[in-house]
Amino acid sequence: MKVGVLGGGQLGRMLGMAGQALGFSFVFLEPADECPASAAGEWIRGGFDDPAALDALAERSEVITYEFENVPVAAVRAIEARRPVRPSAASLKVSQDRLREKEFFRRLGIPTASFEAAEGEAVLASAVGRIGLPAVLKTRRLGYDGRGQRVLREPGDLSPALAALGSGPLLLEALVPFQRELSVIGVRAASGECAFYPLIENHHREGILRLSVAPAPGLTPALQARAETYARTVMESLGHMGVLALELFHSGDELLANEMAPRVHNSGHWTIEGAATSQFENHLRAIAGLPLGATTVRGHWAMVNLIGELPDLPPLRGATGTHVHLYGKLPRPMRKLGHITLGADDAGTLMRQLEAVWRTVGGSPGPSAFVVSLRASG
Ligand code: AMP
């Protein structure tokens, strides 16, 4: 099977690596001058809006997928006349607009924070009147890794936030006092069969995912079932094929949906070593029309992102139960350069290993606040 991928970042690279074991080959369309995925297949260097590049991708592929949700829907529409694109443009379209996404969750009966469209000072002020403060003002499009949002705590914050976020369409949400952030990763095959990985607890700093722990500490079957129901409802209503990640706030007894990604997800990288079938292999199985692989997880797993610069690698490479993944990217502030997966039979051992890795990775300031909070929650 020849798989074409819109995007050639680390997600494409890990898809390609998983696919090679299945005997698949890959071609990536990536506009940037660096293409981490090119280690795992051909690279067409061209824009997502370049008809010749899209044509070349379709020509060389049997099925096409994407590893980046800001691919223009028009690019997918142009290709899908020639080759199947999975997940379809429907999944992409919903996930590209934070307002449309929240309205979609609401229609499906999936709880979210209170939200309203908020364009311009007058509309924003009246939306703040209904939703209250504190709240979060977000751009509807092109927000990722914490970009495109501002927290509003007092009326004086409205004007500067509007000025900072530009003139495009905006969304106002109540600020959720969540205990923790979770994600559920599901996969839906062409046959309609669905499978799910255990809920993952995620820790962000400066808007970027730093650490994921799976199964989420204190996970109960009821919480898992609820998250699976939400993710299944989303996938079924879109006729989704492939992996889908749903990011959730755990608030009181509730799970509130924050956003979805119609692709393999950073919080699922630990599945490479930690699950019977990784999210990458299962995504490929789903888009290729194969049966899904088992999502069984044994033991406890953590994933630490390597951001901005690489730590001293030899001690990490030598540590038991520790797997270093590098993406072949040049170091740059706030850039995801690789990740480390840690696995242990029990949660206590995992936390000890995590503390040691955290010190090496320089997860400053001081001893990790994340690990402390994990201990408290676990
Ligand atoms: P997003 O770009 O919507 O995924 O938001 C990035 C991060 O901002 C989330 O992972 C949360 O940590 C935080 N955040 C976003 N929306 C809210 C909200 N309504 N309440 C509290 N925190 C939020």
Write the DSSP string, 276-344.
SS-HHHHHHHHHTTPPPPP--B-SEEEEEEEESS---HHHHHHSTTEEEEE--PPP-TT-EEEEEEEEE
**Number of residues written out for the chain:** 378
Q: Is the CB of 134 under 6 A from ligand 1?
A: no
Q: Note the pLDDT of residue 365.
A: 43
- pLDDT value, residue 355: 87
pLDDT of residue 332: 94
Q: How far apart (Å, rounded) are the C-alpha atoms in residues 197 and 214?
A: 9
Ligand 1 atom nearest residue 175's Cα: 20
Query: Does ligand 1 have an atom closer than 6 angstroms to the CB of 146?
Result: yes
State whether the beta carbon of 142 lies less than 6 angstroms from ligand 1: no
In a 3-state reduction of DSSP, which class is residue 85?
A: strand
Q: Looking at ligand 1, which atom is closest to the CA of residue 247?
A: 4
* The pLDDT of residue 207: 83
Tell me if residue 300 falls in helix, strand or coil: strand
Instruction: Record the pTM.
Output: 0.95
Cβ(173) to ligand 1 under 6 A? yes
Q: Is 30 near ligand 1, meaning CB less than 6 Å away? A: no
Mean pLDDT by 10-residue block, N- to C-terminus, for the chain (378 residues)?
98 98 98 97 97 97 95 94 96 96 98 94 93 96 75 95 89 96 98 98 90 96 98 98 98 96 98 98 98 98 95 89 96 95 95 88 54 52
pLDDT at position 376 is 53
3-state SS assignment for residue 182: strand
For ligand 1, whether the C-beta of 67 sits within 6 Å is no
Measured from the CB, is residue 175 less than 6 Å from ligand 1?
yes
pLDDT of residue 205: 86
Substitution site in 136, 255, 267 for ligand 1 pocket (most atoms within 8 Å of beta carbon):
136
- Determine the pLDDT at residue 374: 55
Tell me the backbone φ, ψ of residue 13, rounded to 5 degrees: -60, -45
Ligand 1 center–CA 375 separation, angstroms? 23
119, exposed or middle or buried, with CB in 10 Å at 0-12, 13-18, 19+?
Answer: middle
Could you give the count of Cα atoms lying within 13 Å of 127 in the half-sphere of its Cβ? Answer: 22
CB 201 near ligand 1, within 6 Å: no
CA dihedral of 64, 66, 72, 74, whole degrees rounded to 10: 20
Closest-CA residue, ligand 1 atom 1, reads 146
Ligand 1 in contact with 258 (CB < 6 A)?
A: yes
* Contact predicate 279/292, CB 8 Å: no
Q: Which amino acid is at 108?
A: L
